């Protein structure tokens, strides 16, 4: 099982890739509900809804939130009655909020509400709210306390954040399944979300931080900062105003003690020594999630990397011994496997090694080494060959090689 601490847009994009890289049924999402808000008398869960819409293939691709093709007739009419328009909910988005609000008022706990919504949208993965009790993120600027959505949407983050608080967190409890998911996972991933207002509220729920500290899962984080810039949201501003370095190193310092692996972008490769000096191993790759292929490569690549350097129940910082690369059996065209023409070589054992698989003196570069990284099955989609001049995969196309059994 893989568990992901999730915020909104950045996390949803990563999760789109993850559920293509592994079996979605093995993924548990712990969703931030600290930025939930009541609008027009309805309970809105922005981060949870963004994740659901994205995984259902229904999110608005231009904004990263809301539903593609939604209309805004209701908020247009409400504005005529004097309601504020700064929080723009589409008509179908409002239907989601209406349904959630009714269930909560009938006494259905939040974790059951979220599970039902995920099921109604046809999702195979499990989505858990961080808590059933309300927790509300507050930011404090020069003029005092501001509700998070006021800061994020109405004020467009144009406020110097001096501190952050999570109202209600001290009396909240982790939603059913949260602690177990952290404890029992092979890997726990902090998504490329804001470490303060997306991941921070989840960690503020009593018991969650301690569970993350104790788990034997490999714990990884993906930096939302690339070359000193944030792709989306106020993370860079917050790092600066709260006294942190605006870089992947700054994010690593925030998470120090909670993660074993930091995933950073190629543009930040020079920062590896500083991050590893913190006792955090680095995986460097392309973290710009501009297509489903790139999202899948990011998720699949980091999971293969963590298996090479730790694996289930064996964190590198605890055992210090890299795990043997996973081995899979696949059917290879003979001219790829052996450099000669014709036929298919059945049941070839190869070694999975990061971004490639190795067979004797042949290295096959892959786009997506494993579709499922649960120790049982995988999919190889190979697209390049090195170290063996006769094994020119481009000459035989890019075959989808089926579902090989792990050796």
Range of the domain at 57: 2-317
pLDDT score of 304 = 81
Are residues 252 and 107 both part of a single domain?
A: yes
Q: What is the pLDDT of residues 51-61, one digit of tens each?
A: 999 999 999 98
The burial of 261, by beta-carbon neighbours within 10 Å (0-12 exposed, 13-18 middle, 19 or more buried), is given as buried
Are residues 387 and 298 both part of a single domain?
A: no
Residue where a domain terminates, one of 296, 317, 338? 317
What pLDDT band is residue 175 in, cutting at 50, 70 and 90?
A: very high
Cross-strand partners of 188? 3, 219
Are residues 82 and 172 both part of a single domain?
A: yes
Question: What is the rounded CA–CA span in Å between residue 261 and residue 270?
Answer: 16
Residue where a domain terminates, one of 273, 297, 317? 317
Instruction: Please tell me the least confidently modeled range out of 13-27, 81-95, 150-164, 337-351.
Output: 337-351
Question: What is the rounded CA–CA span in Å between residue 208 and residue 230?
Answer: 26
pLDDT score of 358 = 53
**Is the pLDDT reported for residue 211 higher than 50?**
yes
Are residues 343 and 215 both part of a single domain?
A: no
* Nearest residue to 94 via CA among 72, 120, 61, 125: 72
* Nearest residue to 197 via CA among 257, 152, 259, 264: 152
In the chain the first and final C-alpha atoms are separated, in Å, by 20
Contact present, 202 and 30 (Cβ < 8 Å): yes
Q: Which residues contact 116 (CB under 8 A, 6 or more apart)?
A: 103
Residue 401 within any structural domain of the chain: no
Are residues 66 and 48 both part of a single domain?
A: yes
pLDDT score of 231 = 86
**Is the pLDDT reported for residue 93 higher than 50?**
yes
Q: Which residues contact 310 (CB under 8 A, 6 or more apart)?
A: 218, 260, 316, 319, 322, 323
Structure tokens, 133: 């009790």
pLDDT score of 349 = 52
Are residues 50 and 145 both part of a single domain?
A: yes
Contact present, 21 and 76 (Cβ < 8 Å): no
pLDDT score of 336 = 41
Contact present, 233 and 35 (Cβ < 8 Å): no
**Is the pLDDT reported for residue 362 higher than 50?**
no
Residue 406 within any structural domain of the chain: no
pLDDT score of 63 = 87
Residue 290 within any structural domain of the chain: yes
Are residues 104 and 241 both part of a single domain?
A: yes
> Average of pLDDT values for 349-365?
48
Query: Where is pLDDT greater, at 225 or 319?
Result: 225
Contact present, 358 and 382 (Cβ < 8 Å): no
Residue where a domain terminates, one of 289, 317, 345? 317
CATH assignment at residue 228: 3.40.50.10680
Q: What is the pLDDT of residues 59-88, one digit of tens each?
A: 998 888 899 999 999 999 999 999 988 888
The mean predicted confidence, pLDDT, of the chain is 81
> Average of pLDDT values for 228-243?
92
Question: What is the rounded CA–CA span in Å between residue 400 and residue 11?
Answer: 28
Are residues 211 and 348 both part of a single domain?
A: no
Q: What is the pLDDT of residues 264-294, one digit of tens each?
A: 999 999 999 999 999 999 999 999 999 999 9
Residue 229 within any structural domain of the chain: yes
Are residues 280 and 344 both part of a single domain?
A: no
Domain count, the chain: 2
Residue 222 within any structural domain of the chain: yes
**Is the pLDDT reported for residue 194 higher than 60?**
yes
Are residues 203 and 226 both part of a single domain?
A: yes
Q: Helix, strand, or coil here: 185?
A: coil
pLDDT score of 77 = 94
* Nearest residue to 326 via CA among 366, 389, 369: 369
Residue 403 within any structural domain of the chain: no
Residue 404 within any structural domain of the chain: no
Q: Residues, the chain, total?
A: 407
Q: What is the pLDDT of residues 313-345, one digit of tens each?
A: 444 334 333 334 444 444 444 434 444 344 444
Give the torsion through C-alpha atoms of 302, 305, 311, 315, to 10 deg: -90
Are residues 281 and 334 both part of a single domain?
A: no
Q: What is the pLDDT of residues 367-380, one digit of tens each?
A: 333 333 333 333 34
Q: Helix, strand, or coil here: 345?
A: strand
Are residues 291 and 333 both part of a single domain?
A: no
Residue 402 within any structural domain of the chain: no
Cα distances (angstroms) measured from residue 396 to each of 291, 342, 362: 26, 10, 16
Cα distances (angstroms) measured from residue 188 to each of 42, 97, 178, 193, 354: 32, 29, 12, 14, 19
């Amino acid at each position: 099982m893989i568990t992901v601490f999730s915020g909104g847009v950045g996390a949803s994009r990563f999760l789109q890739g993850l559920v293509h890289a592994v079996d979605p049924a093995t993924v548990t999402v712990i969703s931030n509900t600290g930025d939930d808000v009541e609008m027009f008398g309805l309970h809105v869960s922005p981060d949870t809804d963004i994740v659901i819409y994205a995984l259902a293939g229904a999110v608005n691709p231009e904004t990263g939130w809301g539903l593609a093709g939604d209309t805004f007739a209701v908020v247009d009419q409400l504005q005529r009655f004097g309601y504020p328009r700064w929080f723009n909910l589409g008509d179908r988005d409002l239907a989601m909020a209406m349904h959630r609000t009714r269930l909560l008022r009938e006494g259905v706990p939040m974790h059951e509400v979220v599970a039902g919504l995920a099921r109604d949208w046809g999702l195979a993965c499990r989505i858990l709210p961080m808590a059933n009790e309300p927790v509300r993120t507050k930011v404090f600027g020069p003029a005092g306390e501001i509700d998070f959505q006021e800061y994020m949407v109405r004020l467009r983050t144009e406020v110097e954040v001096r501190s952050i608080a999570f109202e209600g967190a001290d009396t909240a409890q982790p939603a059913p399944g949260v602690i177990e998911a952290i404890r029992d996972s092979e890997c726990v991933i902090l998504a490329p979300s804001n470490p303060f207002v997306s991941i921070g509220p989840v960690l503020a729920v009593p018991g969650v931080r301690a569970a993350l500290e104790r788990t034997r899962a490999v714990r990884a984080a993906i930096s939302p900062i690339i070359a000193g810039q944030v792709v989306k949201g106020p993370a860079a501003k917050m790092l600066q105003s709260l006294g942190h370095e605006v870089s992947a190193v700054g994010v690593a310092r925030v998470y120090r003690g909670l993660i074993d692996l930091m995933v950073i972008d190629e543009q930040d490769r020079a920062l590896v020594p500083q991050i590893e000096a913190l006792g955090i191993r680095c995986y460097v790759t392309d973290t710009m999630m501009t297509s489903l292929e790139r999202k899948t490569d990011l998720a699949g690549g980091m999971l293969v990397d963590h298996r090479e350097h730790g694996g289930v129940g064996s964190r590198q910082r605890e055992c210090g011994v890299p795990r043997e690369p996973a081995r899979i059996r696949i059917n290879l065209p003979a001219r790829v496997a052996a450099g000669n023409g014709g036929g298919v070589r059945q049941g070839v054992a190869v070694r999975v090694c990061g971004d490639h698989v190795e067979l004797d003196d042949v290295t096959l570069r892959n786009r997506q080494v494993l579709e499922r990284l649960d120790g049982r099955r995988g999919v190889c989609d190979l697209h390049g060959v090195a170290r063996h001049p006769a094994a020119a995969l481009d000459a035989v196309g890019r075959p989808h090689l089926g579902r090989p059994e792990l050796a």
